[in-house]
Amino acid sequence: MTGAALASELAPAAVPLIAARVVDDAISTGDRGALYPLAGLALLFGVLEALAVLVRRWVMSKAALGVETDLRRDLYGHLQALPVSFHDRWQSGQLLSRATEDLATVRRFLGFGLVFLVEELYETGVVALVLRAARSSPT
């Protein structure tokens, strides 16, 4: 999953570099034949990004669902071990509804929120490096 997340961030970061080659080399020199390989390379990076996102989401959703399943099993085991007097104070539907919704929130955070937080921090670093490299390269 980490490899797929890295690939899904690196692939789109390369597209502006390809666009710079299009402008600097193919368009400025009038070499229209150089556009086709560069367009193919940009398309390849787009397909690579889409596949990496698919793999990342598939793996992460399975992992987050596994965590939710384990938590749910532990919670229900604990609820069944509680004395009957505890259950007399709660409506069973309300208790299970709250527990189910809370566990679903944990799953959504693990599957999306945490992943996107780490991914966006990583993407910020990659963009900063690309901008630094573009600034220091001769024009």
**pLDDT tens digits, 11-37:** 887 888 888 888 888 788 888 888 888
**pTM, to two decimals:** 0.63
**Structural domain count, the chain:** 1
User: Tell me, what's the pLDDT at 139?
Assistant: 55
What is the CATH number for 74? 1.20.1560.10
Quote the domain boundaries for residue 72.
2-136
29-36 contacts, C-beta under 8 A, 24 or more apart: none
Least confidently predicted of 32-41, 64-73, 126-135: 126-135
